[in-house]
Each structure stands twice: as C-alpha cells, then as structure tokens.
Structure 1
Amino acid sequence: MEPVEPRTSWTFVTNHARILAMIQRNPETRLRDMAAACRLTERAAQAIVTDLESAGYLTRARHGRRNRYRITPGTLFRHPAEGRHEVADLLMLLAQLDPSPGDETRPAPAGRRAGSDRTNS
C-alpha cells in the first residue's frame, strides 16, 4: 500500500489568531511584518486587522508613522462551542511561541515528510 500524503490544506490556528498573537507580543508591529510571519500578502493582513477591529477584538491608534494596537480585554471566542472562554487565554499560549517568519529549515514531524519513502525495518 502506497503511503498517503498528509493533508496540508488546513491548520489548527487561524491567521486571525496568528495576527492577534503577534500584536500581543508587540503592539507596534508593522503590517509588513505580520504578513511575512503569517505568509500572507500585506492586503490580506490588513483585511484581518480590519476584521478584528470591526469585531471589537482590538483598537488601533496612530503614533507617528506607525499604528499602535491594543487588544480589547475580556473578548470571547466567536463560536458558541468556545464562546464562554476569553481569547486572551489562547493569546497567552500563542504569544509564547517563536513566530520564526520564513523558517523553512524546521523539520516536518517524523513520518510526515512529503516524498518520504522510508520503510519500517
């Protein structure tokens, strides 16, 4: 039986959560840096920030040539299954992770490399 390639069309963490975590780490982070870390276009990163601001998860204020973001405390998850939990709990976990934008050298989990023709010996 041929090994099945892993599905790569989904992730556990959304780009909205990634952007919020970056803002949690650095409230003055630039859209360019958000986009690079999340492997998005700047336009997509801008749309996500706009979504988050419109939904009340963050506010944005201009400071010189930069935006300064503030995450709104006490905001809850949008989906009813998690709706009683604060987004801040997830952000605390995600903010601890190193975003390492562009780090292509990180190995895939064992047994999950694309094109791997390892056999059990």
Structure 2
Amino acid sequence: MAHWTFLTHHAHVLLEVARNPDATIEQLAAAVGVSARSAVTILNDLDATGYVERERRGRRNHYVLHRDRPLRHPSNATHTVGELIDALSDLG
C-alpha cells in the first residue's frame, strides 16, 4: 500500500502551531514527522506568505496564526485557515 496522506506537511505544521503556539522547532518536527530542517523550511514558507508570524519571546519563538487568510488552492480559496483548523483540530 502506498504511503500518502490527504494533508500536506504545511497543513500539519499549521495544525500543530494552532495546538501549541510556543512549540519548539524540534517539537513541531516530531509531531509532524519531518526533520527539524523541513519544519524550519515550512515555517519560513508560512511566514513569507502571511499565514504565520513569529514573535520573539526571550530565546524562543511564539507563533501567531492569521486565521483569516484564505487557503491557497483556487478551489478552496473561499475558505480560511481558521476554518481548516476548526474542522481538523481538537483544540476544544
């Protein structure tokens, strides 16, 4: 059986940041199942496109999600990141 998922690593990182906005790179990488380098690359992508913002708090980062940003694919662009997070997470 082929190994694939419905969601990209970018979506999984978004969900993890929503669960724990103070997570370290290592924690995010472990939760998503990618290397720390991949997690940094994904966070850089999300930051550059305005989905995530990093705030420096002491020696650590705090991540702010911009839930009002539209999803990137044209067929989903009428939906927001917040809707995706609400639909797929168990944040309570």
Q: TM > 0.5 between the two?
A: yes
Tell me how far apart the structure 2 counterparts of residues 17 and 90 of structure 1 sit (CA, whole Å): 9
Q: Could you tell me which of 24, 28, 34 is aligned with 2:18?
A: 24
**Rg comparison, structure with higher value:** 1
| Structure 2: gaps spanning 5 or more residues | none
TM-score normalised to structure 2 length: 0.92
1:67 equivalent in alignment to 2:55: no
Tell me how far apart the structure 1 counterparts of residues 74 and 55 of structure 2 sit (CA, whole Å): 30
Alpha-carbon RMSD: 1.3
Tell me how far apart the structure 1 counterparts of residues 22 and 74 of structure 2 sit (CA, whole Å): 31
SS in 2 for 1:51: helix
Kept in 2: contact 1:73–1:88 (CA 8 A)? yes
Identity %: 38
Residue 40 of structure 1 deviates from its aligned partner by 0.8
- Structure 1 residue ranges, 4+ long, deviating more than 6 angstroms after superposition: none
TM-score normalised to structure 1 length: 0.71
Equivalent runs, 1:1-121 vs 2, <5 Å: 6-8=1-3, 10-96=4-90
| Structure 1: gaps spanning 5 or more residues | 1-5, 98-121
Q: Name the structure where helix makes up a greater proportion of residues.
A: 2
| Residues paired across the two proteins, number | 91
Residue 59 of structure 1 deviates from its aligned partner by 0.5
Kept in 2: contact 1:18–1:94 (CA 8 A)? no
